[in-house]
Structure 1
Amino acid sequence: MKPTLLLSLCALVTLSLQSRSPESCECELSSTQPFPHDKLNTSEKNVEDCNNNVSPQKALELETLLLGLERRLPQLEADISELERDDDGQLYGVLALYVIQNELTEIRLLMEKLNTTMTMHRQQARDTAEQISAIRAELQELETYDTLQVVKRDQTNQRLKRDLDQCRKGQDPIAPPTLPPHGSCPHGRFQNVSGPRIFTPGEYPGSFKYGAWGRDPKPVAGKENWHWYVPLVSSNRFAHYVRLYSTLSSLVVGVSVPGNVIIHASNPATNTVQGPNVVMYAGALYYNCYNLDAVCRFNLTSKTVTNVPLPKGTRFNSKGNFCNLEECFPFTDLDLATDESGVWVVYTTTQDHGNLVLSRVEEGTEGLQLGQTWYTSVYKQAVTNTFMVCGVLYATRSISKDTEEIFYSYDTATGQEKFNIGIYFKKLFPNIYSLNYSPVDQMLHSYAEANMVSYKVVFV
């Protein structure tokens, strides 16, 4: 074997040739620069820790506290003005002062929590910046071991690919997704969803995985700012009361001044709420009646319940649920929805082969009744949630644990279906168990694994 051939084979190592005879030689190999696997493992762990420390939930925590303070201060000012105007110097004045004193205490506690959170976030930002700087230095050092320049070539390829994609988009722009026309919607055309705007675990952090919350699109006079909350308190299936909050800030900080309105003393029982898809409209709660293929209406003022049965063959008792690729959401057979015009119910029947069916729920002279019904061609178990905006039904599906897509619409005015809506929004938790639109503030209120999250609907 020739020495020149051995030299070419051992080009990346140190060679030491010792010839014993013209026909043989020995080659001693020694690594000149061993790769530091321990440093690579440390860098990967540091990156993972950095990702865990910086999360949307922590950023939204500060935003939620600021919103709570913003809503509380005008309320305090209004209460003080009312005291100055109506103070009789006796019982009323004393009670009003107690209310104001409690509000001041709550505001002080909120400000203390806000200051603590801001201090913690500043320190976390400094620590994260230092950690990112250290990780960058470690990665630059590790690149020196890339003697074949694999990383540099991969970076060059990625840059060229990005430039090529931009060039193609410039020559052949992609048309925006087709969306429903303006129609009679007073806000314009539904274009996008932004946010999350509000995120709060509410009064019972970590409790009641399933539930719903929102605002009344047609509130009783004097209750325009009220918010409602219905947690499924029994087996993630039943609820027997609705909890009311006088303002959004009260809900965020977990202070229910009106308290609970009991539907039924026991749970489950007649008129019990079944499933998380609940809405409120005109001072009444609409929901799936316990163990029935029917919609119940609970009047919060008179404490009376009326109901309307759904068509024969309607799937109920967890036989026609919303689903994602990994699981179905129990007892989501009936999805109640509200928009600018009233209340709707989304369900499925055996005769419609599991496709979504949409009906209006109306309060007639003879009580609760079903109005006009529409039939779609989208399979219910391929959908994770539905909601209504200006008479248009929208359906969502889960793209990943972080992303939800509004992919489908059905316009009740034209009967037109679209499967290419393509509106994506960010999830803070993998599963959204209820989703409803509020025309009062154009917000989407979602309940996601014991947390209340809202998004802003964008119109053009």
Structure 2
Amino acid sequence: MFVYLLLLTVIVTVEAQRVPGQQKTDSCLCKINSSIWTFPAVEFMEVTRQVQICEDNLNEFEEKVRNTNAELPMMEATLQNISARLKAFGYLHTSGLYSALQLQQLNRELEEIHQSVNETHKQNPNKETHNLLSELNKAKNDVQRMYKDDFFNLETMKKRLRDLNNRAQSCKTIPNDFRSTCHQRIMTRISSPSMTKLNSISKSYISGAWGRDALLSSKEHYWEHCLVSGHKHGNTIRMYTSREDFMANRNYKDEQIAPSYSDKNAVQGSGTILYDNTVFYQCYGTAEICSFNITTKTTKRMKLDGAGIDNKFPFCYYSCRDWTDIDLEADPDAVWVIYATEENHGNIVVSRLDPLELNITHTWKTHLFKRSVTSTFMVCGVLYATRFVNTFQEEVFYAFDTTTGQEISSLSLPFEKVSSGIANLNYNPVDGKLYLYNDAYLLSYDTFF
């Protein structure tokens, strides 16, 4: 009798069983435990459960895919909206407005300010000029240490330089009548509109400017200037000899500033002002200021170095008002130009102009980003800035005193309007009123100090 070992492979459990057997005649007899072929019900249930989990996960994933596909158009629309809103600020990167200021340039600017303050100190020595010279010398020493140690924070130094420059500008010789008592008073309230009317041409002329001649000794001349050609250019100004005529749209005279609105002496933008029967405005297509004398029919020009134009630095806040890069305002004895430059990071720069010679006498640099502002106006050497509140309300929120160099960011002077867009806002020192060009509507306000 031979004993054979029968090797049986059980496929289900992937196990082998060794079974002893006996040979009888031509047969092999062995006992086999058939329980090893029992159906694996427990394992089957576990596999079934896993399959169900996979199926549920797959269904959940398919539902998420369907939801995502449904949301994609909304996400794309949101992305396009954000991209469109950010496009206006693309110059911050492409133009390198926030690139570090080179030490050599910083040193040159310090030297220029030091020379200016030193000359002022020689002419009129006082405590302020003495302190400024001391601070400038300290700043120059700090720059030299930057060269030596190769460790510096140029942006912080540039802010310090800007503050020193503003103080130096305030120390420079300014006519006595400029330093009147009014510069020490900050506006406290703006009335409801004392007058509201449409412009005299058409409701479609949504951009322009209007007001009264800002020279104290001038006759009662009211003026109105509406922009054409895409609310960008103009070449005439409408003049009235009385408020009654202005309100009734009668007895006016259209004075021609340039032969056409595409002439080199035509007006660009809504930052126009009338002072001493002379129109001051941005010249067509350039970073220049033009003055047109209505009496003599003569035009003067001056370059505004570094000023952004062609919607580089317009007034904005929620939405930008095109062609508002350069804004002109008037005081009793001066014309002011408000603009922004790359050198000042797109922040507002204020320059005082001699209206007769048409040249810049003083320049101040603020920390106020021009695109965060809807409009500006000047009162006795104090710059005021407004921002959008809602369609029917605006707010004066900021002031910069050119006499002291002080910035005030805590103002809250609300005033009403009839539409959302502001094309021009100017203060008139003759009657103490604010004049607003508000999407084709002309409004005026009383002011209180």
Q: Kindly state the Cα deviation for residue 371 of structure 1 after the two structures are TM-superposed.
A: 1.2
Aligned to 1:441: 431
Q: What is the SS of the residue equivalent to 1:250?
A: helix
Structure 2 counterparts to residues 365-444 of structure 1, below 5 A: 367-444=357-434
Q: What is the SS of the residue equivalent to 2:343?
A: coil
Structure 2 counterparts to residues 216-365 of structure 1, below 5 A: 216-218=213-215, 224-255=219-250, 257-311=251-305, 313-325=306-318, 327-363=319-355
Aligned to 1:214: 211
Deviating 4+ runs (over 3 angstroms)? 186-189
Q: Kindly state the Cα deviation for residue 270 of structure 1 after the two structures are TM-superposed.
A: 1.1
Q: What is the SS of the residue equivalent to 2:437?
A: strand
Give distance in 2, aligned partners of 1:378 and 1:388: 15
State which structure, 1 or 2, has the greater radius of gyration over its C-alpha atoms: 2
- Alignment check: 8 A CA contact 1:386 1:435 kept: yes
Q: Kindly state the Cα deviation for residue 264 of structure 1 after the two structures are TM-superposed.
A: 1.4
Give distance in 2, aligned partners of 1:379 and 1:272: 28
Q: What is the SS of the residue equivalent to 1:292?
A: coil
Deviations 1:214-247 (A, max 9, x none): 01121675xx222001100222000001110111
- Alignment check: 8 A CA contact 1:213 1:452 kept: yes
Give distance in 1, aligned partners of 2:180 and 2:409: 19
Q: What is the SS of the residue equivalent to 2:247?
A: helix
Judged with a 3 Å threshold, the aligned counterparts in structure 2 of structure 1 residues 420 and 186 are, in CA distance, closer, same or farther, namely closer
Deviations 1:408-440 (A, max 9, x none): 000011000011111111111111110000011
Q: What is the SS of the residue equivalent to 2:188?
A: strand
Structure 2 counterparts to residues 90-101 of structure 1, below 5 A: none
Give distance in 1, aligned partners of 2:287 and 2:260: 21
- Alignment check: 8 A CA contact 1:321 1:329 kept: yes
Q: CA RMSD in A?
A: 1.7
Q: Kindly state the Cα deviation for residue 183 of structure 1 after the two structures are TM-superposed.
A: 6.6
Moved more, 211-220 or 388-397: 211-220
Q: Kindly state the Cα deviation for residue 258 of structure 1 after the two structures are TM-superposed.
A: 4.1
Provide structure 2 residue ranges, at least 5 long, that are not aligned to the other structure: 1-178
Q: Kindly state the Cα deviation for residue 203 of structure 1 after the two structures are TM-superposed.
A: 1.8
Judged with a 3 Å threshold, the aligned counterparts in structure 2 of structure 1 residues 425 and 292 are, in CA distance, closer, same or farther, namely same
**TM score, norm. by length of structure 1:** 0.57
- Alignment check: 8 A CA contact 1:191 1:458 kept: yes
Judged with a 3 Å threshold, the aligned counterparts in structure 2 of structure 1 residues 188 and 394 are, in CA distance, closer, same or farther, namely closer
Judged with a 3 Å threshold, the aligned counterparts in structure 2 of structure 1 residues 217 and 363 are, in CA distance, closer, same or farther, namely closer
Structure 2 counterparts to residues 25-44 of structure 1, below 5 A: none
Amino acid at match of 1:372: H
- Alignment check: 8 A CA contact 1:225 1:247 kept: yes
Amino acid at match of 2:248: V
Q: Percent identity?
A: 36
Give distance in 1, aligned partners of 2:337 and 2:238: 22
Judged with a 3 Å threshold, the aligned counterparts in structure 2 of structure 1 residues 218 and 322 are, in CA distance, closer, same or farther, namely same
Give distance in 2, aligned partners of 1:238 and 1:219: 29
